[in-house]
Amino acid sequence: MRKSRLLRNVLLGIKNLLLHKLRSVLTMLGMVFGVGSVVAMLSVGEGASKTALEQIRKLGSNNIIIDSIKSVEEEGQQTGRSRLAMYGLTYDDQTRIHETCPAVERVVPVKLVRKEGRVGEHTIDLRVVGTSPDWFDLVQRPVIAGRVMKSFDAEDASNNVVVLTETGARKVLATVSSIGQNIRIGGNYFEVIGIVKSEASDAGGLKTPDQEVDAYVPIIIAQERWGDIASRQTSGGFERERVELHQMIVQIKSTDQVEAAASAIDSMLKRFHKKNDYRMSVPLALLQQAEATKRTFNIVLGSIAGISLLVGGIGIMNIMLASVTERTREIGIRRAIGAKRRQIVGQFLIETTVLSTAGGLIGIGIGVLIPWIITLRSGMPTVVTLFSLVLSFGISMIVGVVFGLYPAVRAASLDPIVALRHE
């Protein structure tokens, strides 16, 4: 009985709204644009933050990345052929970190050398990465062909093996079979044992340890073949640099120990590095900062879009107050034949709820469509979450009820006799 009465009241409310189609549609537009903007803005913000968070997670929440940098003192000194710049991380630093910090699981050294790669007539400028097989455990990259370096590859200084990135392999091995092919790097020949996918990017100000054109060799090979001294051309001539290790990736046993371990490692390095010639990056700290920024960003976007819903609610209240004035005589008749105040309130609330519900559903459709168009046209990732849909639709329902309550109560409080006399 109650269900049939409710259905009858809903149908009556829809009928009353259809009597003024244009006015009802214009009233709904506030809710449509409000809900649509909430969903669209939260989707764009979620997509942007998700991309950054994923890139940071790929660096490893248990990892600490330490890079060699040229200190201010080294940069300020005059360059020339006879000058040898010495800075950065050392092999002793690797040993100290591993032996003095109990929280450290392993330390992966990285030595970088710029060399030309050649296969037949094809040449390419390679960034040669001398490292240990553990690098591929800490910085996991999909293997496209062959295999990555294993422990036995790093034990023999005469074992010239190399793992190429996909981009480098396509450029230099475009016309020959990849695995087992010999590639000349500098003045030495290396056997290609694997090809991996590179995912070089900048995540939250922290670059991933790999680049699009890398060649990975055992660090013992890099030490034996090219040593620690490299020359590079500058505006003042040639400058020689001695850098033992360009980077270290330190894996910590537990995520809970990362911040304490980073502080301990930084203190230890400062004791042996009088110049500021290294930079420490903690992906976990960046991840936490990015998540906090994401929450703030969502709150700001939600608040801005919520103003549109507020405007829509005011529009509903305005139209319903006008409707009360227009239907004063109708209200008087209904009260005279026995309609109770709560029934009058209920009827007007049903009409505002129908308006806000219809506007909310249309707004959700528009809010889902806009991010899809953005992704299609610009390639920017967007993510429509269930939370944004439920939140925006729920707010639209609440706004409809809250802003429709006053007109409904005002209609129910009319004196039946006065209402009947209204023209």
The CA distance from 312 to 318, in Å, is 10
The CA distance from 98 to 195, in Å, is 30
Q: CB neighbours of 317 closer than 8 A, spacing ≥ 6?
A: 403, 404, 406, 407
- Encoded tokens for 419: 């209402």
Q: CB neighbours of 89 closer than 8 A, spacing ≥ 6?
A: 66, 68, 243, 244, 245, 246, 247, 248, 278
- Beta-bridged to residue 85, according to DSSP, are 241
Given a contact cutoff of 8 angstroms between Cβ atoms, the answer to whether 178 and 145 are in contact is yes
Instruction: Spell out the domain ranges in the chain.
Output: 2-56+289-421, 70-276
What is the longest distance spanned by two Cα atoms in the chain? 107
Most confident range (mean pLDDT) of 178-182, 203-207, 219-223 is: 219-223
User: Cβ of 155: how many Cβ atoms within 10 Å?
Assistant: 10
Nearest residue to 196 via CA among 182, 174, 213? 213
The pLDDT tens digits of the residues spanning 358-378 come to 888 888 999 899 889 988 888
| Share of residues in the chain with pLDDT > 70 (%) | 80
Average pLDDT of the segment spanning 403-415: 73
Q: CB neighbours of 95 closer than 8 A, spacing ≥ 6?
A: none
Q: What letter would DSSP give residue 183?
A: E
- Encoded tokens for 366: 């528009």
Q: Tell me the C-alpha to C-alpha distance, in Å, between residue 389 and each of 39, 361, 383.
A: 6, 10, 11
User: Cα-atom radius of gyration of the chain, to the nearest Å?
Assistant: 34
- Encoded tokens for 253: 């046993």
Lowest-confidence pick of 57-66, 76-85, 88-97, 189-198 = 76-85
The CA distance from 195 to 142, in Å, is 9
Give the pLDDT band (50/70/90) at residue 1: low
Given a contact cutoff of 8 angstroms between Cβ atoms, the answer to whether 238 and 82 are in contact is no
Average pLDDT of the segment spanning 323-336: 69
Average pLDDT of the segment spanning 336-350: 73
Average pLDDT of the segment spanning 318-340: 71
Res 384: pLDDT: 86
| Share of residues in the chain with pLDDT > 90 (%) | 15
Average pLDDT of the segment spanning 164-186: 79
The pLDDT tens digits of the residues spanning 263-316 come to 999 999 999 988 888 999 888 777 777 777 777 777 777 677 677 777 777 777
Distance, C-alpha 285 to centroid of its chain:
15
Q: Name which residue leads in pLDDT, 233 or 189.
A: 189
